[in-house]
Structures are given as C-alpha cells and as structure tokens.
Structure 1
Amino acid sequence: MGTRISFTRPDGQSAEGYLASAAKANAPGVVVIQEWWGLQDQIKGICDRFALSGYDALAPDLYAGTVIPYHDSKAAGAEMNSLNFLEATDQIVRGAAQFLLKGSPKVAICGFCMGGAVAVLGAIRVPEFSAAISFYGLPPEEAAKVADVKVPMQAHFANEDDFVTPEKADAFEAAMKAAGKPLEAYRYDASHAFMNEQRTVHDRNCSELGWGRVRDFLTKNLG
C-alpha cells in the first residue's frame, strides 16, 4: 500500500522511510517509530493501517536499511545501542514530521518498544508534533525529563513486561502528574510487544483495544 521515500533532515542530509498515504488530501499525519528490530514489514503494516484510518503515516528508517530477524535479540540490542537517540530524534524523526506537515495540518508521533522511547523524546524535542503515543517504551530519565514534555501524551503499558516494568510505568505516570502534563495511560494484561501480530506475544483483544484508544486520542488532538 505504501512506498519507500526519501526526505530531508533539518541539517540538509537525506533520510529514508516508508510512507502510506490516506485516501484524502490534507489528512493529519502520524510519524511511526520502529521497534528495535528495524523498519520491518510489521511496522509498515502499522503505517498502512493508519492510512486506512485516514492518516498519512511515515515510518522513518532509523537503522538505514538494517532489519533484524525476530529471533536475534542480541543483534537487535546491539543495533539499538549503536543508535544516537537524540540525533535520530532531532534529525530523522523531526525531518519526517516536517515532511508530513507539507500536506498535513497537524502531526503526531506513535512509537513501539524502542520507538515508544523515541516518541517520548519527540514529545520533548520536536516542536512540530501536536501529540505523542508510546507503546511500552520509555527513555532513561537522564535523557528525558517529563517536565519538558510539550504535547498531550498517551501511553500503553503491559502488566507482564520485563523491559518497561509496571514499576517504571508507575514512575512515569507519577512524574507526568506531578509536572501537570496531560497524559492518558493504559495498562493491559499482556506481554511486552502485544501489538505486534507477527510475534507469539501478540494479544488480539488488547491490540484492538489499544487501536481504538489511539484513534480516539488522535481524533481529539489532530482533528
């Protein structure tokens, strides 16, 4: 449904990503951020689903073409750890937002796992975003102070998660509340990555519930 495109970063360099366009002009936009596996088919499918829901969706390729197979967590971790998160947010992610804003009135960011952490960074560092959604991903506190979040956020956490544990989710919610930041937070009786239908941890009921909440949140914040 979508296609691979090139777009320009704020520093003038080129980046690439997967773009799925809505069937209408001037649709709101969503920048979709990959899991630590790279820009694989499942993330492209997320973009396609956003497009079918009426949004232009662009997933920037943060790994520049590298895709890790699901069984190789070691390689995925190494690729993620080699990523400069702040530069990727300021240049690749912001460039994607600026690209969508050429035809979209408002743009949000939605990320999964590693991408969820980038979504929080985007809510702090990218002025083009009007809303942010994080699925089971949070950046280290030293990299992102929630008091600096500039847009409404929606966060989805799994109760059976060894990466973003319920304790980390609790701390994030408490910090956002203390800072007076708008947050919708949801918990699911599921495992980490429950939105990924290509993996055994996928939970269809929780996934569809999450999708409905995302659509409602985007309607409220993007129009």
Structure 2
Amino acid sequence: MAQTQNGRKGRTITLKSRSDGAELAAYHATPPPSIDRKGGLVLVQEIFGVTDHIRDLCDGFAADGYEVVAPSLYDREEPGFEASYSDEDIARAMKLRDAAGFTHTKGDIQAAIDFLHTRNNLRVHITGYCYGGSVAWLAACRCKGLTSAAGYYGRHVIDFIGEEPKCETILHFGEQDQTIPMDWVREIEAEHPEVRVYVYDADHGFNSDRRKNYDEDATAQARERTLELFEMADL
C-alpha cells in the first residue's frame, strides 16, 4: 500500500526485487500537473539510505518533469534505515553497504525500472550518488530498459571497469576526493571513451548540501549536465 510522506508530495511504495522477490520500500515522486512529463528516473541512495536529502533530490527532479523512484536498497538488512553524517552513523552505513554489496543490484533496480515503464514512461533514466553512483554504473551495464545513466562519485566503478554500459552514460567525480584516486578516473576514461567523464574541483559528496563537502558550483554544473543527458539521450 502506498503511503504519503509527511509534508511531502511524494509517497512510499513497495517494489518487489526481480532477483529474489524481496520487498523494498521506495520513495515515489511525480511531476505536478502543470509540468510536462519527460519520463521516469530511478534515483539511487548514498550509503546513508533514502534520507531527507535523497527525497529532496527526488522532489527536485519531479519538479523538472520526471517521475522518480528511490528504492531503499538496505531493506533486506535494516528496513527503513536512514543515517545522519555523524561518525557513528557513517560507520553503521558502511557496514550496511558492505552487507548489501551488489548481489541484488540488477534485480532491485530492474524492479524500479519496470515500475516506471508500467506507468507509461517510454524513457527511463538512472542517477545515483556515492554507493548509488556505483549502482547506477552497474544498472547501465546489466539492466534492461534504461535510456541513460548518470553516476556521481561511485567508488566501485573501477571494480566493474570491464563491464559495458548498454545506454548513454556519464560520470561525475571530484578532483579532491581522496576515496577515488584520479588514476582510477583516468583509467575509466581510457577504458570507456564512449562515456563522458566530468571532473570538478570538489570533494566526495559535493552534491549534498547536508555535508561539509558541499560545492554549490559543482552541484549546479553536474545537475545541468545530467538533465541535458536525460533530455538528449537516445534521440
């Protein structure tokens, strides 16, 4: 059953993974009636879960005309998990990320893609941040029905560098990000010349206005490039 989020236009729905049938909660935001619909978007969480920040991002893309779904990828391990940016919560989030890994990535994201297609979205895109940036890369390589993918500072992209995206893909990285060496970024560029890789004078997590690493200019430029990809891909 869908539930409306307090103070938000979005609602919580339930998706069933295509890998093992597990039920995952997901935040679902739709464009206002006054906005022309542009398609569907799967938005993938940071390591911190589907937090207020992630719901804000969903609402923002919905205001741009996209029907957005953000699945809670830790629901097998800890349903409803949402973390702050405290050291203690970061440690908890990292343990959950490691527990979840990427075993069910294809099936979980495929469920979100399929849901958006059932709602008459002919074009479905994906974006993700941190852990979600790596998930977005894998979804571009493994899932069906995606029009484009935009991944933000996905540390594990390098681990799956041998896989090939099936849709137009761009990647965003921060030059000051100590968790993703620039050597890795250049290796990804060399291996995948078809993928547009953008590097900003910013740190890991630059897109989150809840974090000390937030960079307004990098966020605005990356969002502009991501929206341009969504609108122009597969035309």
Normalized against structure 2, the TM-score is what? 0.86
Q: CA RMSD in A?
A: 1.7
What is residue 230 of structure 2 aligned with on the other side?
Answer: 218
The counterpart of 2:124, out of the listed 104, 107, 111, is 107
Contact 1:30 1:55 in 2 (8 A): yes
Matched residue, 1:51 = 62
Match for residue 38 of structure 1?
A: 49
**Following the alignment from structure 2 to structure 1, what is the Cα–Cα distance between the partners of residues 203 and 29?**
28
For the Cα contact (< 8 Å) 1:39–1:63, is it kept in 2? no
1:6 counterpart (14, 24, 43): 14
Q: How many residues are paired up?
A: 217
Contact 1:21 1:55 in 2 (8 A): yes
What CA deviation, in whole Å up to 9, does each residue of 1:9-48 have, x standing for no partner? 2254422100111135764111000001111110111100
The answer to whether the aligner puts 1:169 opposite 2:185 as a matched pair is: yes
Identity among equivalent pairs (%) = 28
Pick aligned residue for 1:69 from 84, 103, 125: 84
Deviation of 1:90 (Å)? 1.9
Match of 1:195 among 207, 212, 217: 207
- Compute the TM-score of the two structures, normalised by the length of structure 1: 0.91
- How many angstroms apart in 1 are the aligned matches of 2:17 and 2:133? 21
Range with greater deviation from structure 2 (2-11 or 124-133):
2-11
Is 1:79 the counterpart of 2:96 in the alignment? yes
2:216 matches 1:204: yes
Identify if the C-alpha distance between structure 1 residues 86 and 60 changes in structure 2 by more than 3 Å, giving closer, same or farther.
same
Compared with structure 1, are the counterparts of its residues 38 and 222 closer, same or farther at alpha carbon in structure 2 (3 Å cutoff)?
Answer: farther
Asked if the contact 1:160/1:192 (under 8 Å) is kept, the reply is yes
**1:93 is matched with which residue?**
109
Cα deviation, residue 148, structure 1? 2.4
Matched to 1:105, the amino acid is: L
Give per-residue Cα distances to partners, 1:75-99, cap 9 Å, x unaligned.
1211110113131x12221101110
CA contact (8 A) 2:58 2:69 kept: yes
Query: Which stretches of structure 1, 4 residues or longer, exceed 6 Å deviation after superposition?
Result: none
Of residues 153, 161, 165, the one that matches 1:149 is: 165
> Do the aligned partners of 1:121 and 1:139 also contact (CA within 8 Å) in 2?
no
The answer as to 2:134 corresponding to 1:117 is: yes
Deviates more, 1:6-15 or 1:42-51: 6-15
